[in-house]
Amino acid sequence: MAALGAAFFFCQPATAQTDTTATQAAPQCELHVWPSSGLRSVYYGWFHGGIVDGAVNGRDGYPPIPKDPVSTSLQAELLSKLNLASILQLPNYQVVVHDQSLDSRAIRAAAGRLSTSTSSCYAELVGDDVFFQQDVFSGGYLKSLIRFRSFGSSNAPTRVFSTWSRTKLIAFPPKEDAGNAEALRELHAAYVSNIESFGTFLNKPIKKKK
Amino acid sequence: MKSVLNLSLGVCLAALVATPALAQAPAPCELHVWPAERMNSMTTGLLGGGLLDAAIHANKDASNKASLASALDSPSQLDALQSLDLIELLARQPGTVIVRHETPIERKSMNKVKTRRSDSQAACYSELIVADVFYQKAAIYGRSLRTLFMLRDFGNDQVIDREYKAWGGNGLKLFPPKEGEDSTAALDELVSVFKANFTEYAKNARKALNRGS
């Protein structure tokens, strides 16, 4: 029994070594993905509307919206269901979706990688902000500010790209509680649509300066 | 035993001498800082403003507001201000402690409340409040970011001794970003112009407060 135990003990490092060799043979590209913090809001009204997050915080004069309708955990869930490698045109990338959002400071000030990964083929997709934007003339939109950085094998990004993408909302915010489910379905579909639009923007040929 | 007694006596005397000196050291002044919660965007075309102009540009202005709110969220406003030498720029006493307030003051109460906005009992107390962030695009004058700041000196009580409220404003070259194009530089520009606005405001504040004192 003791001999068996000893044999098992010594087998473990050998197995681990084999795995490492296999990893070295074919480097695995990694795309690390972070959701943003919860929904924020901006509003443009007739005579007021400057208060940032007025709707989200239930301030007077701002359209009421359901509480935390696109939470960080829900975003992580939606992101996990998407084929992000295909949307961003990063074939053969292994997608790692983190379940916590990053502090806006960390996102904007980071010079190096935001994860501890040492992958020799590495990229990041970061949800910076997600807004419910509404104005009295053209209605509501879900807007997402998304940031992408690719590193290759380096610790400093070789490409940085960030942009807004938006999707028109019709049912959100719900006028009555009865419309809540439909409004949330629309909002979540808009969140996915914004990610897909971002993929298109990211891969659009860069315009040459005239 | 005698030497121990002498030593103890010496320590006690030193403590007696040192204690009043420590007690006399003045508590540091405090500068409490709040970010803005109100952000606006106004685009005027050749119509020169008015309802029709507002309707035409409403969607663009709402979109700009989201960019302002993201690039200049509360932590970013406070970080931007703290990256500057606030003590030097606002002519505060050396050693003044900066106290950050992450939650903005409700905009409508900004001018109504005339007492301290924090619970601090500091004998030397002042407040710097960012009241408004305002993007403007005018057909002739171009694009600019304006910021309304308010500095209030209280001294050691609840009464405002000196107050200075004014706009700082500077032009923008990159903001607003076009949809689908890289917005990194345009959003960073908002932060750098916000800082430039404060530097301009602080220069005027020093002059105004010096005249008043």
**How would DSSP label each residue in A62-118?**
S----SSTT-HHHHHHHHHHS-HHHHTT-TTEEEEE-SSPPPHHHHHH--S-SS---
Q: What is the mean pLDDT of chain A?
A: 87
Mean pLDDT value of segment B28-41: 96
CB contact under 8 A, B39 and A40: no
CB distance from A47 to chain B under 8 Å? no
Question: Which of A128, A138, A163 lies closest to B59 in CB terms?
Answer: A138
CB distance from B182 to chain A under 8 Å? yes
Each residue's pLDDT tens digit, A129-177 = 999 999 988 999 999 999 999 999 999 999 999 999 999 999 999 988 7
Q: B107 to chain A, minimum CA–CA distance in Å?
A: 8
Residue B1: is its pLDDT beyond 80? no
CB distance from B77 to chain A under 8 Å? no
What pLDDT was estimated at residue B53?
A: 78
Residue B131: is its pLDDT beyond 50? yes
Query: Residues A189, A190, A193, A194: what is their CA dihedral angle, to the nearest 10 degrees?
Result: -140
CB distance from A16 to chain B under 8 Å? no
Tell me the C-alpha distance between B77 and B98, whole Å.
Answer: 14
Residue A172 lies in a domain: yes
What pLDDT was estimated at residue B141?
A: 85
Domain boundaries of chain B, sorted by first residue: 32-212
Residue A116: is its pLDDT beyond 50? yes
Mean pLDDT value of segment A183-199: 98
Question: Which of A44, A145, A162 lies closest to B58 in CB terms?
Answer: A44
- Buried b or exposed e, range B110-145, using 16+ CB within 10 angstroms: beeeeebbeeeebebbbbbbbbbbbbbbeeeeebbb
Interface-testing mutation among A43, A135, A160, with chain B (most B C-beta atoms within 10 A): A135
Each residue's pLDDT tens digit, A65-114 = 999 999 999 999 999 999 999 999 999 999 999 999 998 888 988 999 99
Question: Which of A143, A161, A204 lies closest to B66 in CB terms?
Answer: A143
Task: Provide ipTM, 2 decimals.
Answer: 0.83
What pLDDT was estimated at residue A209?
A: 57
Greatest mean pLDDT among A167-181, B12-26, B151-165 lies in B151-165
Residue A134 lies in a domain: yes
Say if residue B8 is exposed, middle or buried (CB neighbours under 10 Å; 0-12, 13-18, 19+): exposed
CB contact under 8 A, A104 and B76: yes
CB distance from A147 to chain B under 8 Å? yes
Tally of domains in chain A: 1
Residue B108: is its pLDDT beyond 60? yes
Give me the count of residues in chain B: 213
What pLDDT was estimated at residue A208?
A: 65
- Buried b or exposed e, range A49-62, using 16+ CB within 10 angstroms: bbbbbbbbeebeeb
Residue B13: is its pLDDT beyond 60? no
What pLDDT was estimated at residue B134?
A: 96
Task: Indicate the pairing of strand A40-44 with strand A93-97.
Answer: unpaired
Question: Which of A129, A135, A161 lies closest to B182 in CB terms?
Answer: A161
What pLDDT was estimated at residue A210?
A: 55
Residue A10 lies in a domain: no
Each residue's pLDDT tens digit, A6-52 = 333 333 333 333 344 444 555 689 999 999 999 999 999 877 778 99
Tell me the C-alpha distance between B93 and B73, whole Å.
Answer: 29
The rounded percent of chain B whose pLDDT value lies above 90 is: 71
Chain A residues inside the 8 Å CB shell of B68: 52
pLDDT band at B4 (very low <50, low <70, confident <90, very high): very low
Mean pLDDT value of segment B91-105: 96
Write out the residue range of the structural domain in which residue A185 sits: 27-202
CB distance from B66 to chain A under 8 Å? yes
CB contact under 8 A, B180 and A135: no
